[in-house]
Amino acid sequence: MELKIAVLPGDGIGPEISKVGVKVMKAICDKFGHKVSFEYAPVGAAAIDATGNPFPEETYEICKNSDAVLFSAVGDLRFDNNPDAKVRPEQGLLAMRKKLGLFANIRPIQTFPCAIDKSPLRKELVKDADFLCIRELTGGLYFGEKFESDDRAFDTCIYTREEIERILKVAYEYALRRRRHLTVVDKANVLASSRLWRKIAKEMATEYPDVVTDFMYVDNAAMKMIQEPRFFDVIVTENTFGDILTDEGSVISGSMGLLPSASIGESTPVFEPIHGSWPQAAGQDIANPLAQILSVAMLFDYFDLKDEAAAVRTAVNASMDNFVRTPDLQAECKECYGTQAVGDWITEYIASH
């Protein structure tokens, strides 16, 4: 297969983990005889500095003309601490999602047996937790009408039937391929937009009789996720709820640095870690590259390259088993590895197995 990949390293720890993701991707393509090419483009604060625009038109064109995007992170302290900033790095990520029509964000939440002690939750509780959070990504509060003045501001949570139907369809398709249990997470006791979600989900549930559909308010789901994570198989939810619940989900895995995601929709799919740019750690070689590497596994899955995806995951598991880990995951008595050293170990493992 021939793969044309747009690489968007972005800000903070982004460039460091991006380097590792590209290396791992190259190693897999060499091993399995695929041709891969990479084209780099700026996004976020890096793009604002270069062009004034967090998602420049040239970056969009490069993404659009690629088979997939390998994205890392955006965000910069200069903007975080300035509420008056006219443009923000995060707008680059949102513009990318919107312009590429990436309405579904697939976020797998799992535990890794060898890192189970890293979760602050009890081992017997998180053991074998394995669910998908399907987050709607181009609607809701993030993209609804906004207003901001010195004494009044609002965001609008707006969803259309079409937007709800298409994300529910994605969720049902995933549920059919898994344990056939879909939980629709909303706040239908308060929000009109949630009531529309629930109404449409009830209609669609009849089309998927093999899937058990249940409904849960988001506050209750937040509690259930850490109380009984094994309850869940597939969660589908609107944009903001999905953002919050997946950060919470990382506590089950034990580190934000472990969770990858795939954003899919109408145009080029994007593969991105769920964590942010961690600007405080930039350039220190301490960030965990596994979320980025596991995003590469999701990329191979997307193209139905199952053996390639499995080879990435086997190498990641081997690195953890061998205590080749960054500080966020390392066991107390072991020495920590740097971002690049973990990447090099995994790359060598792929080449030699």
Instruction: Give the residue numbers annotated as catalytic, written as ranges.
Output: 142, 187, 219, 243, 247
Which C-beta is closer to ligand IPM: that of 16 or that of 243? Answer: 243
Minimum CB separation of residue 347 from Mg ion in Å reads 28
Region of 304 (left: φ > 0; alpha: ψ -120 to 50; beta: rest) is: left
**Contact partner at residue 93 from ligand IPM, Mg ion, none, CB < 5 to 8 Å by partner kind:** ligand IPM
Q: Is residue 19 classed as helix, strand or coil in its secondary structure? A: helix
**Contact partner at residue 90 from ligand IPM, Mg ion, none, CB < 5 to 8 Å by partner kind:** ligand IPM
E strands, 94-202, are 104-110, 130-136, 146-148, 153-155, 181-186
Is residue 243 a contact point for Mg ion (CB under 5 A)?
A: yes
Which C-beta is closer to ligand IPM: that of 90 or that of 163? Answer: 90
Contacts of the segment 220-227: beta carbons below 8 A, 24+ positions apart: 221/183, 221/185, 221/245, 222/248, 225/249, 225/252, 226/121, 226/251, 226/252, 227/125
Minimum CB separation of residue 243 from Mg ion in Å reads 4
How far apart CA 174 and CA 105 sit, in angstroms, is: 12
Minimum CB separation of residue 275 from Mg ion in Å reads 8
Residue 248, H or E segment = helix 239-253
Angle 255-143-183 from CA coordinates, rounded to 5°: 55
The dihedral over CA atoms of 160, 166, 172, 175, expressed in degrees to the nearest 10, equals -110
Q: How many CA atoms within 13 Å lie on the side-chain side of 299?
A: 32
Minimum CB separation of residue 332 from Mg ion in Å reads 29
Question: How many residues bind to Mg ion according to rule CB under 5 A?
Answer: 1
Strand pairing category for 181-186 and 234-237: parallel
Binding site for ligand IPM (CB under 6 A): 75, 90, 93, 243, 274, 276
For residue 67, give both structure tokens: 């088979």
Which C-beta is closer to ligand IPM: that of 56 or that of 89? Answer: 89
Minimum CB separation of residue 243 from ligand IPM in Å reads 4
State residue 106 phi and psi, 5-degree precision. -100, 115
Which C-beta is closer to ligand IPM: that of 75 or that of 289? Answer: 75
Amino acid at 72: S
Residue facing Mg ion at closest CB distance: 243
Neighbours of 65 (CB within 10 A): 11
Is residue 136 a contact point for Mg ion (CB under 5 A)?
A: no
Minimum CB separation of residue 213 from Mg ion in Å reads 26
Residue facing ligand IPM at closest CB distance: 90
Is residue 90 a contact point for Mg ion (CB under 5 A)?
A: no
Which C-beta is closer to Mg ion: that of 76 or that of 243? Answer: 243
Going by the DSSP 8-state scheme, the letter that residue 287 receives in this structure is S
Which C-beta is closer to ligand IPM: that of 129 or that of 274? Answer: 274
| Interface contacts to Mg ion, rule CB under 5 A | 243
